A and B are shown apart, each in its own frame.
Chain A
Amino acid sequence: MDNILDIKELGKMIDEIETAANGLIEKAQGIQAIERNAERILASTTMLKINVSDLID
């Protein structure tokens, strides 16, 4: 395991996942198969934020 970890970079990538999932919901035009799965991505993204992004000042 490399212990030089750029958590700011990780935080940025997590934000990008969140933006992409929200984008999917916006453009889904009500298709539940897209909206609900994107909601699940957002729930998992929140766990990444709890584990990583919250540590960024």
Chain B
Amino acid sequence: MFPKSDRFWNPLLETLPREKIRELQVKKFRRIMKWAFEHSKFHHQLYKDAGMEPGDVKTLEDIARVPKVEKSMMRGIQKKDPYPYGDMLCVPLEDVTEFRQTSGTTGQPVYQPDTWQDWEWWAEAWAYILYSQGYRKSDRVFIPFGYNIFVAFWAGHYGAEKLGCEVVPGGVLNTEARLLKMQELRATATMATPTYILGMADIARKKLGIDPATDLNIQKITCAGEPGASIPSTKKRMEEAWGAKVYDHIGATEIGAWSYECEEQPGGLHVNEGLFLVQIEDVETGEIIEEPNKRGKMVITAFDRLAQPCIRFDSKDIIMWHEQECPCGRTFRMIKGGVVGRADDITKVKGVLLAPTAIEEAVRGVPELGDEYEVTVTKRGDTDDISLKVELQTEAENLKEKVLAKLNDQLRLKTNLRYNISFHPYGSLPRYDVKAKRFKDLRKDH
């Protein structure tokens, strides 16, 4: 039995009772571990060294004992034979049909091979995302992004096609041309980073005299690449600017598209537990966290990705389980507020733990400020110093003192820290098309 509803891509999986999901996950984990053990020299050695074989895995507790894979290990084996992937590759090199690489934000990029079947799987994972966000065959999806060696939006494109949407690739056009094409074609949905969604709206209003909320037909926006769509103040800005629903999704090149916010916008994202196993580990003790509202590091497995498997990958993403079930009817668990930070991103400033997303939430919560900001942490003698550059909206130039007081209040509330705040002319801070770099820690020991 499953619910009669057209809101699910696959009600058989998405509404499966919890105990059945757990059984399925153990079965699928054992299968992918066996595949890697038999086809990848790297995994074979990893599990041998730990004294484990796939047959040893009978419960979720057993899975927690399987060795983790870190990005540094992947970097270590790449550029070796079979070139350029190294011996994590589980298929003959000639079966690889897709090359992608990570953006290299945290170091040397990691190369990711996929077979055609893996690519079908990427599109399948995106079909779950887009269907849950209301995309249907009647949608015309405009993708304002120049596809390249990064996986970003390639899979969104194929996922939308799989649903039967009409997809418009807006790659080499500039922002103005993209906006005009969206308007001309009456596109109903789009996908981009939160930074670019806000940037496009700004350019539409200021350079083209177009109000995206009233002059365009965009009804749904799917964000990726940055946490903005799960940060309430940023989400609100985007929704107001475009007059559209804004949804978050989380994925990564070496993992897949593992999580999605559904139409209910419940303050969290569903983990696609039919395709992935997410475990949250206490950063200090390594204990698995099952209770809600307790932050930990995500360790993730993709059950069905074969060329270069993702098994117990230590993502460094900080997440926490949501305490609620979603009214949408999906039984997949939710994480609260998306990825709330990264284990190597959350830093101590003046002895206080600081997640850069909290600064974004404070800045974007002040309507008189522009979307852009820049944070720099330095050391003055023994003391940490944080400077924050913000832009005042042109029409708020006479309200500097009032805005400063409001921003200070927000920052104290959200981060418990004091900042040296400076105001800059609107439009003077850097603009980003893809992943923004707004947080700089210049202390020598970081």
Contacts and interface: CB of A to CB of B under 8 A. Distances in A.
Interface string A33-46: 00000011011101
A46 B4 CA distance: 25
Contacts of A3: 1-4
A13 interface: no
B16 interface: yes
Interface stretch (B114-122, B133-141, B188-196, B313-321): B114-122
Nearest to B304: A50
Contacts of B275: 50
B10 interface: yes
B3 A50 contact: no
Contact of B124 (A1, A4, A50): A50
Q: Chain A: interface secondary structure? A: helix
A47 B13 contact: no
Interface residues of B, number: 24
B24 interface: yes
Nearest to B116: A43
A50 B274 contact: yes
B4 A47 contact: no
B12 A51 contact: yes
B330 interface: no
A43 B12 CA distance: 20
A39 B116 contact: yes
A31 interface: no
Given A1-B6, A40-B116, A55-B24, A50 B12 contact: no
A47 B12 contact: no
Given A3-B1, A3-B4, A54-B24, A47 B116 contact: no
A51 B117 contact: no
Contacts of A39: 116
Given A1-B6, A51-B10, A52-B12, A43 B24 contact: no
A40 B116 CA distance: 7
B120 A46 contact: yes
Interface in A18-39: 39
B117 A43 contact: yes
B124 A47 contact: yes
Contact of B120 (A1, A5, A44, A55): A44
A50 B224 CA distance: 25
B237 interface: no
B28 interface: yes
A17 interface: no
Given A50-B275, A54-B24, A54-B28, A7 B120 contact: no
B116 A51 contact: no
A42 to B, nearest CB: 7
A52 B10 CA distance: 9
Contacts of A46: 117, 120-121, 304
A46 B119 CA distance: 12
Contacts of A4: 1
Contacts of B27: 54
Interface in B1-36: 1-6, 10, 12-13, 16, 20, 24, 27-28
Contacts of A44: 120
Contacts of A42: 117
A50 B121 contact: yes
A28 B116 CA distance: 20
Given A54-B24, A54-B28, A55-B24, A47 B121 contact: yes
B121 to A, nearest CB: 7
Contact of B16 (A40, A47, A50, A55): A55
Nearest to B95: A39
B24 to A, nearest CB: 7
A4 B1 CA distance: 6
Nearest to A55: B12
Contacts of A1: 4-6
A41 B27 CA distance: 25
A55 B21 CA distance: 9
Given A44-B120, A46-B120, A51 B13 contact: yes
Interface of B: 1-6, 10, 12-13, 16, 20, 24, 27-28, 115-117, 119-121, 124, 274-275, 304
Task: Please list the 6 inter-chain residue pairs (A to B) with the smallest Cβ-Cβ separation, ordered nearest first.
Answer: A43-B117, A43-B120, A47-B124, A1-B4, A51-B10, A43-B116
5 contacts: A1-B5, A3-B4, A5-B2, A43-B117, A50-B274
Given A50-B121, A52-B12, 6 more contacts: A1-B5, A43-B115, A44-B120, A50-B124, A51-B13, A55-B13
